[in-house]
Amino acid sequence: MSTSASGATTPTATHTANPFEVQAQHRRPRVHKRTATGFIPEDSRKPLSELFPGDAAAWKKAIDKNVQDLKEDPDTISANVVHHVGSTLARAPFNVDELALYQATALSVRDRLIASWNDTQLYHTQQRVKRVYYFSFEFLMGRGLDNALLNLDVKKPYEESVSKLGFPMEDIIDAERDMGLGNGGLGRLAACYLDSASTCDIPCWGYSLRYQYGIFRQICNSKGEQVEAEALATNASNETTLKSDIPNSNFNFSSQPWEIPRLDSGVEIKFYGEATRGKGGKGVGTWTGGLEVLAVPYDVPVPGYKTRTTNNIRLWKAKPKVSFDLAKFNGTLPRWFSLLRLEPTQLYSPAGDFDASVHEAEEAETITRVLYPNDNFDEGKALRLKQQYFWVAASLHDICRRFRKLGLPWTEFPSSCAIQLNDTHPAIAIPELVRVLVDEEGKF
């Protein structure tokens, strides 16, 4: 272990992500299901070999094999890149261009990031470190491949590897599109903070939204006024172009291979409805009715410079709880409508209401559709508020869940978590945290 300038210890640079090398610590017992961020308190009392399903020896052998696949010699790197060309991208070796090799190279680097990411999260959980949580509406990360190669100190062997495969590293790096997570100084400041925190071995997570259109182009209209346009890969004549200098607005796997979907860790976020309490207005509050939207997390590793610490940005994407209403689409009526003694037209058209069948999905997905929607009208203001509440509510749920794993009393929350708000966009996190403590935890 090494000690950083901040006083925190971190795994040494030679340590490889191997759960058999991380010893569990005693924790207070608390019922909590396993999550993607490390051990739960009950696990700490078990031998580490018992935490794996099936044969622990088989797991260890496979993990050791994966460690060998992450060696830094050019031949091993080339084999890993070619593996992703064929197995992940499903491309033949003779059918590879700069963009395809960029994706395969980035996926190869991501394998290393995930190893150090897992190592970092396990270590931070074991050591019960105080974590910093940085809320920012934007993260202007820049191109991830070049940054990751430099921070992992593997740029030279990767340059030699891709050169042998027939592509200069400059062309591979230039094929990357910027992440659609922001435009200006607010996002660049946030990205610098996350990068510096990783380099200084400070446990830090960023939280933001996974926008569909997170980058926009500034153009002038016929009156000379500045207007925004979505940053799609189209030119002014609406003709498709493949120029790499036009950012890809869709932050998805095909264009940005850095993110890690956590599709099984969604958080239910409520809008509207009403809250009720027990007699005398005391006790835990109950939120009923309203609209429920699913917040699905996507993780983006943030490596430090020449350190094994790899922090994280968690992005939330809004998804509907019910993406498609087949009854409305087909025009069939639910069985219970006759009990209400209503005419079919009072529910929806028996002929089929196609728009209504996807209305809930459209309403939910609009929340993370655009960065900074126009708020010059009431609907835009409501959408802005929805975005901000959706983001902070999901993030605080995640932070509180991670704190509960420690089994500590809520009086220890300030000693375990520090939440930094970048600008005024996440200000609603303050009353939302109060609501969680009062309504959900029954405190105060």
In the chain, the largest separation of any two C-alpha atoms, in whole Å, equals: 75
Predicted pLDDT at 357 = 66
pLDDT digits (tens, 9 = 90+) for 367-410: 999 888 888 899 999 999 999 999 999 999 999 999 998 889 99
Q: Is residue 273 in some structural domain?
A: yes
Q: Is residue 274 in some structural domain?
A: yes
Nearest-angstrom CA–CA distance, 42 and 374:
48
**At 206, phi and psi to the nearest 5?**
-100, 150
Predicted pLDDT at 208 = 96
CA nearest neighbour of 158 among 224, 101, 240, 200: 101
**What's the burial of 200, exposed, middle or buried (CB within 10 Å: 0-12/13-18/19+)?**
middle
Q: For strand 274-276 and strand 310-320, is the pairing parallel, antiparallel, or unpaired?
A: unpaired
Instruction: For CA atoms 189, 193, 194, 198, give the dihedral sign.
Output: positive
Which residue type is seen at 121?
Q
Quote the number of domains for the chain. Answer: 1
Those residues of the chain that have pLDDT short of 50 are: 1-7, 9-34, 36, 232-254, 346, 348
Predicted pLDDT at 364 = 83
Q: Is residue 39 in some structural domain?
A: no
Q: Is residue 26 in some structural domain?
A: no
Q: Is residue 263 in some structural domain?
A: yes
Q: Is residue 1 in some structural domain?
A: no
Cβ neighbours, 10 Å, residue 407: 16
Predicted pLDDT at 153 = 92
CA angle 54, 58, 59 (to 5 degrees): 80
Asked whether 44 and 341 are in contact (CB, 8 A), the reply is no
Q: Is residue 156 in some structural domain?
A: yes
What is the reported pTM? 0.79
Predicted pLDDT at 144 = 92
pLDDT digits (tens, 9 = 90+) for 252-311: 334 578 999 998 889 999 999 888 877 766 667 788 888 899 999 999 999 999 999 999
Q: Is residue 18 in some structural domain?
A: no
Question: Whole domain around residue 274: which residue ranges?
Answer: 70-238+250-321+368-441
Predicted pLDDT at 43 = 64
Predicted pLDDT at 296 = 94
The CATH number of the domain holding residue 166 is 3.40.50.2000
Predicted pLDDT at 2 = 46
